[in-house]
Amino acid sequence: EAGVAQSPRYKIIEKRQSVAFWCNPISGHATLYWYQQILGQGPKLLIQFQNNGVVDDSQLPKDRFSAERLKGVDSTLKIQPAKLEDSAVYLCASSLGGPHTDTQYFGPGTRLTVL
């Protein structure tokens, strides 16, 4: 079974620039998550989709971050404009069903450096 795919793996940008990350979940997984992991900390949930709909985006900085899940499959996370404090690894995960009971499978992450 193919795992969660993410691209790019690494990205370096200057502050105030825009950046986008892509995630392809495991086939058939209804729930998709984006996490931000700052160096030395645990992942922080940014947004959670169930099929096409947003379940929880309470910790997404909506003035600069946006995310969408096209046709309930792939997802993109965008930052515009980026700030220095956005430097982190952005992890995508998916699960077959409900977020609070089902196992999440993680991609390798995208490491973002904002200069």
Partner 1 sequence: LAKTTQPISMDSYEGQEVNITCSHNNIATNDYITWYQQFPSQGPRFIIQGYKTKVTNEVASLFIPADRKSSTLSLPRVSLSDTAVYYCLVGITGGGNKLTFGTGTQLKVEL
Closest listed residue to residue 79, CA positions, set 93, 70, 91, 67: 67
Q: Which of 82, 88, 104, 112 binds partner 1 (CB under 8 A)?
A: 104
- The 47-86 contact track toward partner 1, x by CB under 8 A, reads -x-------x-xx---------------------------
Separation of alpha carbons 34 and 44, rounded Å = 9
Q: Is 44 in the site for partner 1 (CB under 8 A)?
A: yes
Q: Which of 1, 2, 27, 41 binds partner 1 (CB under 8 A)?
A: 41
Binding span for partner 1 by CB under 8 A among 20-28, 68-76, 77-85, 105-113: 105-113
Chain centroid, CA 26 distance in Å? 14
Please, which residue, 74 or 106, has the CB nearer to partner 1? 106
Separation of alpha carbons 65 and 77, rounded Å = 7
Residues sharing a CB contact under 8 Å with residue 13, sequence separation 6 or more, in sequence order: 19, 82, 112, 113, 114, 115
Which residues contact partner 1 by CB under 8 A? 4, 33, 35, 41-45, 48, 56, 58-59, 91, 93, 99-101, 103-109, 111
